[in-house]
C-alpha cells in the first residue's frame, strides 16, 4: 500500500464511490504505476485506505475484472492481468505453398514464432448437419456430415477451439475420419481427393464467451472471443468444408487483405 499512492475519494463528486475507486486503480495501471502481474492492494488494505465497507471495494474490483484489467486468484490476491503472446493470422495463411510443406498452418506458424504448438481433445463423429452448417455446405435437409472437433494450444495454453464439418459424401471412408488427419491436415486430404481448393470465406463475430468456452479456453473474466466461421470452396464453386472456431480475443489479431479493384 505504501508503494502505491492512491488518491482520496472526492466527496463532492456524484460519481459512485466504487466507481471512483475503480478509476483510481485503473489509472494506476494505465500510467504504469502497476505492471503486468503486479499484485494490487488487498481488499482489507483498500477498505482501510478509503474507509468504506468491503462490498464497496469488491464492487470496484469487479468493475476492473470485467474490463479485463485484473484477475483475482483465490487465496493469493488480485493481479494486473498479463496478456498472452499474440498470434497474428495473416490473410495468406491458407495459401497452397504453405499447405504443401506438409504441416498444418497452426503448427508452422507457432513454431516460427518460437512457441510450442499442440492439439488435443480431437474427436471425430458423424451426424446430421446443423441447419446453419447445412446451409453453408448447400446440403439437402438431413444429409450427414463428418464432424472433427479439436483444441489448439500454445505452450500448453489453450487459444482456440475448432469444429470442422465435411459432407459425409466427400469425407466418409477417408483419412479425414481418422483422429490424425495426416500431413498438411484436412485441406491437403481434400486436394488429394480431387477437390482443388479455390477460396475461403470467413465470417467473424465477436461476443462474450459461453461458460463452456471460458472453461475450454481458460479465459479470464471479461475477455471476449472471436467466433469465426470459415467456408472452403473447391474450384468448381462447391463448398466442401465449414470450420467453426472460437478464439480467445486477446491471443489473436486477425489480418486480411482486401482488393480495391
211 contributes a contact to DNA by CB under 7 A: no
Task: Show the binding pattern over residues 195-214: x = contacts a copy of itself (CB under 8 A), - = does not.
Answer: --xxxxxxxxxxxx------
Q: What is the rounded distance in angstroms from the CA atom of residue 208 to the CA atom of residue 217?
A: 13
Q: What is the rounded distance in angstroms from the CA atom of residue 183 to the CA atom of residue 181?
A: 7
Closer of 44 and 204 to a copy of itself (Cβ): 204
- Range in contact with a copy of itself (rule: CB under 8 A) among 44-52, 91-99, 122-130, 151-159: 91-99
16 contributes a contact to DNA by CB under 7 A: yes
Closer of 38 and 67 to a copy of itself (Cβ): 67
Q: What is the rounded distance in angstroms from the CA atom of residue 242 to the CA atom of residue 205?
A: 15
- Range in contact with a copy of itself (rule: CB under 8 A) among 5-13, 127-135, 156-164, 193-201: 193-201
53 contributes a contact to DNA by CB under 7 A: yes
With cell 451426424, the residue in question is 127
Task: Show the binding pattern over residues 57-86: x = contacts DNA (CB under 7 A), - = does not.
Answer: -xx-x----------xxxxxxx--------
8 A C-beta contact, residue 151 and residue 120? yes
List the one residue from 1, 55, 113, 127 that touches a copy of itself (CB under 8 A): 55
Closer of 73 and 257 to DNA (Cβ): 73
Identify the CA nearest to 239 among candidates 180, 172, 182, 190: 190
List the one residue from 20, 45, 62, 157 that touches a copy of itself (CB under 8 A): 62
Distances in Å between the Cα of 142 and the Cα atoms of 126, 206, 209, 233 are 12, 29, 29, 21
Q: What is the rounded distance in angstroms from the CA atom of residue 197 to the CA atom of residue 185?
A: 13
Collect all residues with Cβ–Cβ distance below 8 Å to 55 and sequence separation of at least 6. none
8 A C-beta contact, residue 197 and residue 190? yes
231 contributes a contact to DNA by CB under 7 A: no
Collect all residues with Cβ–Cβ distance below 8 Å to 181 and sequence separation of at least 6. 148, 175, 189
- Range in contact with a copy of itself (rule: CB under 8 A) among 101-109, 130-138, 173-181, 218-226: 218-226
Q: What is the CA angle 203-208-211, rounded to 5?
A: 115
List the one residue from 222, 241, 242, 245 that touches a copy of itself (CB under 8 A): 222
Q: What is the rounded distance in angstroms from the CA atom of residue 244 to the CA atom of residue 259?
A: 25
Closer of 78 and 129 to DNA (Cβ): 78
84 contributes a contact to a copy of itself by CB under 8 A: no
Closer of 62 and 172 to a copy of itself (Cβ): 62
255 contributes a contact to a copy of itself by CB under 8 A: yes
Closer of 6 and 17 to DNA (Cβ): 17
Where do contacts with DNA occur on this chain (CB under 7 A)?
Answer: 16-19, 42-45, 51-56, 58-59, 61, 72-78
Amino acid at each position: 500500500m505504501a508503494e502505491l499512492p492512491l488518491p482520496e475519494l472526492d466527496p463532492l463528486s456524484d460519481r459512485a464511490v466504487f466507481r471512483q475507486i475503480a478509476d483510481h486503480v485503473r489509472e494506476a495501471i494505465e500510467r504504469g504505476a502497476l505492471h503486468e502481474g503486479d499484485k494490487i492492494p488487498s481488499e482489507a488494505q483498500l477498505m482501510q485506505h478509503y474507509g468504506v465497507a468491503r462490498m464497496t471495494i469488491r464492487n470496484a474490483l469487479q468493475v476492473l475484472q470485467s474490463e479485463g484489467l485484473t484477475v483475482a486468484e483465490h487465496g493469493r490476491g488480485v493481479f494486473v492481468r498479463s496478456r498472452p503472446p499474440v498470434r497474428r493470422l495473416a490473410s495468406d495463411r491458407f495459401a497452397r505453398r504453405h499447405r504443401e510443406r506438409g504441416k498444418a498452418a497452426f503448427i508452422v506458424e507457432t513454431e516460427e514464432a518460437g512457441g510450442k504448438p499442440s492439439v488435443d481433445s480431437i474427436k471425430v463423429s458423424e451426424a446430421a448437419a446443423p441447419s446453419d452448417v447445412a446451409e453453408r455446405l448447400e446440403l439437402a435437409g438431413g444429409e450427414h456430415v463428418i464432424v472433427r472437433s479439436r483444441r489448439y494450444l500454445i505452450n500448453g495454453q489453450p487459444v482456440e477451439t475448432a469444429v470442422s464439418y465435411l459432407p459425409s459424401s466427400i469425407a466418409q471412408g477417408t483419412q479425414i475420419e481418422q483422429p490424425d488427419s495426416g500431413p498438411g491436415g484436412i485441406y491437403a486430404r481434400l486436394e488429394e481427393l480431387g477437390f482443388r481448393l479455390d477460396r475461403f470465406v470467413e465470417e467473424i463475430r465477436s461476443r462474450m464467451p459461453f461458460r463452456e468456452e471460458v472453461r475450454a479456453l481458460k479465459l479470464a473474466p471479461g475477455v471476449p472471443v472471436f467466433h469465426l466461421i470459415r467456408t472452403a470452396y473447391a474450384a468448381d464453386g462447391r463448398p466442401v468444408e465449414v470450420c467453426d472456431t472460437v478464439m480467445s480475443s486477446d491471443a489473436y489479431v486477425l489480418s486480411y487483405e482486401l482488393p480495391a479493384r
